[in-house]
A and B are shown apart, each in its own frame.
Chain A
């Protein structure tokens, strides 16, 4: 969880107090609970028992993060490190193989 503290102070560009960090932890807890609930409901709505990338995209679309102008791939490109981007965005490599396959 100190990892989150570092992330927050990096994004806010200023150090964080202990009390503020505790509040952040509480908020994160609530947020993730909400998130899991939503994902579960969306997966069930599409008649699946497995949460897939589509559910996450729908969630982000409803949160206003993914719009017509900003697709999920753009966000992935912008915020994630290279090894995750390689996992998420299909890209043609040598031998005409596309990884990951869609």
Chain B
């Protein structure tokens, strides 16, 4: 009984997450469609969102491995950079973003003595607004 309900709960959470990702992908696809003046079929959007979902799984596992390899239990920006080192352009982009975020954090720190969560913000940047959508839902 316990297991069954837990499994059900897990499945529900999974579905909610997938829905959130799907919604975000849909919005991004709309933007691209407006930009490039081409249409996305519904199946394409669904396929992209499914790929994104599984990619997140891969990313999460890799980040965990990298953090553990450096004898940390907290994922930080170095791990994220390591994830993106396969393509130099992406690495450059991520590094720039990281610096931007660090700057913003420094300003925030100067304003009010609040501890920012850098790694969290970074990943939030990476997974676009999936989390934001999640929070809204």
Chain A residues with CB under 8 Å of chain B are 41-42, 45-47, 54-55, 58, 61-62
Contacts and interface: CB of A to CB of B under 8 A. Distances in A.
A41 B69 contact: no
Given A47-B70, A62-B62, 6 more contacts: A45-B66, A45-B69, A45-B78, A45-B79, A58-B65, A58-B69
21 contacts: A41-B82, A41-B85, A42-B69, A45-B66, A45-B69, A45-B70, A45-B78, A45-B79, A45-B82, A46-B69, A46-B70, A46-B71, A47-B70, A54-B69, A55-B69, A58-B65, A58-B66, A58-B69, A61-B65, A62-B62, A62-B65
A15 B62 CA distance: 38
Contacts of A54: 69
Interface string B108-128: 000000000000000000000
Interface of B: 62, 65-66, 69-71, 78-79, 82, 85
Contacts, number: 21
B3 to A, nearest CB: 20
A42 B70 CA distance: 9
Nearest to A37: B85
Of A42, A45, A61, most B-chain CB atoms within 10 Å: A45
A56 B24 CA distance: 37
A47 B78 CA distance: 12
Contacts of A62: 62, 65
Contacts of B85: 41
Nearest to B71: A46
Contacts of B79: 45
Contacts of A55: 69
A54 B71 CA distance: 11
Contacts of A58: 65-66, 69
